[in-house]
Structure 1
């Protein structure tokens, strides 16, 4: 009995712990690779921003800030920040300016750290002082910031990454705010053994992140030595410390692991009690067998039948039940860890960055059985909530289970992984490449069925890759192929599944700059109907040309920024416009078809026009006058006519114009007309008379005389000089 109990104990507890410890080592290595990828992404964003144009935001005229540069810079920063889930915000500012450009808009640097990201230490003065020093790239440990939301303050723990300035790559100062909780979720700390923790030290051996805030490293670092080619390990008290050194940035990762499972003492005590009871019973039975054979047997029977009044057997039973519960819990943890490890292996495999050959060999040997068929296709399934304002709350795990059950009807061998942003990756095994055509038809029926049943709150569409041999190295190509299918689907695509083998690439975009410029001015004057016509005409023409979805989305985003360019919103509308911009960008990225994009853009135009109308009812102001002239310069803009438009007398308007703009009205109008005429002379094949008519002159003679008066040469000579250039 003693031997049998000892055997059960070893196989149920120790064996499970050894298996978990082995999986923990692989899980920690995977987490470290995820951390390295995260820090590599942060470093790439910083270098990319330094490489962006505009070392100065000042315009060429009078040293003012060129808002076109600002909008271009902000659009680029927003695109970079949105590519990484754990980036809270990206802040770019210049030494000689108070303007701060972020991924969500612009603000003064002082206002940003007082009313958006509030911290007792990290304020504007701190960062100005820090930037003036010569510092290398620095990752600051997580600190609790008060982050402003739409209606309240939220307490959030943020890490701060600051670009180095020992060697200035540009005039830009860059600060990245990292959501520590999102980063830990990204690296998936839950796959570690229960009771274990991970501590991250930077190149200066300072703690920048710890999953266990109570960890004390006093004396630990002094007792271990290792270099980049080997790992270190140290046992101290009840824990073992495993040291790993990053190949990317010399960071040190310390995995603190307990010698055994937490709360296992009660199970060990129960097993010891079982073994002790067995020994005592055996001794008593041997001593009393010849004398008290009958009575002891009866007592044992009564005890086994539950008639004993003592509590020893209850304790034994309780210990056995508790041990079984912990064994079942550990098995479930192993199952989840195995699933997460497979997902992690896949995501590492499709990562664009290379891993060491030793690491790839380890993954190949551990997960070579991910698919058993000789061939496979990768299908990228994307879900888009049909209710935009209140997305469905169906959990990712539930969606994964639905896809798993549905795909059992399609193939006997399927792996489903969640990627991000409601993207799901399906690895489907094939016996022969010829089976792909039948699989494509089945997936089309399956997606349509799911959209009507289990996933009725979502729009479902997918992209299927080419056929590949089942090798770990081919997952990256298959993943890229399926992503291309989502990006390059045409806006008129009606099928639920995009076949990447049938993609026809094209770049026949329609983007009329003159009409888009008018769209911007229409919005600033609240002329919504004319703006709608330009939106519908532009997007409709691109739909007729059957452009790709990502191209249509880019056109819509550009038009949105043009609508905002001249629309100076009031302070009270800032929060509403910020929310509008975020909702617009999200809906455009996940729009199902071309009509979704058009409706989203028109809804945004209504909001912008509403604020533009309300912001200023007095037309006698420089902004309205300059915009009106820019829209109507090709018409007969007599002084009396425009004075009537702004509801004043010609005499007062003439005096007001000269005082406000520094030149008289006729001279200003001629400069506007001639600036457009110069562009037409350089970039069009229109005749001199046609250009004069398009720019508001009654005949070519008047146009030529006026042009020569301002530029010293005739229009034909100007065209000839610029053509030769």
Structure 2
């Protein structure tokens, strides 16, 4: 018998159900023991305490309003007119407006404070100034409470009054909002000043402030002013006819009245004689019959639950055994913990599989998109398949493509974010702007985002919002990265347009100006230009300076050339071409002085990578200077050998103004003229005389531009025997005479 119950697990199921029955019985017995009437008495007692707390909050709120009115009356400037010309003194107006704003800033249920004078249309509020008529026609609109009403009201003698809540049409930034407002008007029987004060109170905010939820369900609170008029009620049916006349307040300022199905508890305020009525549902008259019915319900529930437990225990036995077997366990004992552990294991496997499928789907979507933007033609069948897979990438009618290029700033302590994390950050941020968004990783910290657009005119608005979005990302979640974003033109959402948008956005990054200050670039705003600055003579000097170890002079030429191009607003790819050309000039004499060919290969690859992914022209400048340092460092090690490019170019640069015949320079480097001529042509790519003339004429051009020396004097200073030889040589190389060159420059 014991084995039977253990194997079938009926005892486990039956005991579980009996536990539920026991809990039900204890709960019902507790209700019965305390009785409904006892619970009701406790609840109503707690409700009375809660209502008194609310009344205290109401008194404090009205006291705050009264204090604000007295404080505004006490403000200076009873007359806003200027003493000189009788016009309104706006300095006084602004001072009063700031004072009003300060007074009401700490009271969250005050919608607005309005101060105006009998003899002028100006109304001063906590947020600014306006005409009284404009304020009640275009800000707080009501059929009765308009400017005419308040003008007429304030002309009479009235005491402080709180008017019942009315629905106003309140203007917001974009539309009208319907809001229920109470109006508190300062008394003028005894004029403290010539200011008329109106305070608009947000009824919903006031009820929230006094914590209306403290009352029991079904109870309501009604507020009467000194004249026994209802100014606020939480009950839509607040008919008090026949109730107020029957009440009489004793010395404790409290009273109660039972009428029909409700009990009315009256409280009189010590502060302003307001009367607060708490309307509470009265308990059932035939409470005894309810208790007897509750006993029968308890007994019937217990009998029915026991029978149901027996039947369910037998009925659930076989399904439980099958479930355990399906989960890979044994049916011995029908232990429900086995079911739980099996379900947990299954859920973990499902979650793992789901994550893998999501990763695979994401990578597949990325692969399909990158194939779609490939500019090489594919077969028609392939295009049909691609169109089928790409049909659900975007659902909007139009789209723009964002090319987001990140560049890690030079901070070694800053940890590198994984690509998946950056994709998640970009996707989350863009989804806040548009609901139809896809983000893909391209390569080398370059990301592609497709943003769906419903109407063409949304593109301009999107670009403005993207500028703020990526500025915040650069200062927040993508801190440590500089960001460049290129926004393509607007395209219809078709497969063929993806490759056009991709190329359009890539060109935006290439054709951005090197000193672009905006993070987000609109390709439609690009102005194409080719005003490049590339001084060949100075670049020739750069090569000589670096090969001779004159690093500082080389740095100056690099900085001057790049910054002149930056001032001309050339495109990024143009600056990259200039930098690569300067790099090749510096490498002309480096191959023979560097340690190994492999080292120069690494230097070139590192430089090209820095140039291709430079954020601005300063990154390009730093990359060139690093190369110059490397080449200059290696050239220093070969200064003792005279027959090397560095020594030869340096010697010519220092002695170009002398008679540097071939025999003389060959003697300097300790070799024969014939061997030196052959070595020079092989090393420098031109013969010795051509090279010497280029160096001399480079210096001559500077003297022609920057000095007042005569043509003959310049020829002598640059190594020519007479002005005729200088003029002939100059015209041969540049096509114009020295004097014409001086006029042009």
Q: TM-score, normalised by structure 1?
A: 0.49
Larger radius of gyration: 2
Q: TM-score, normalised by structure 2?
A: 0.48
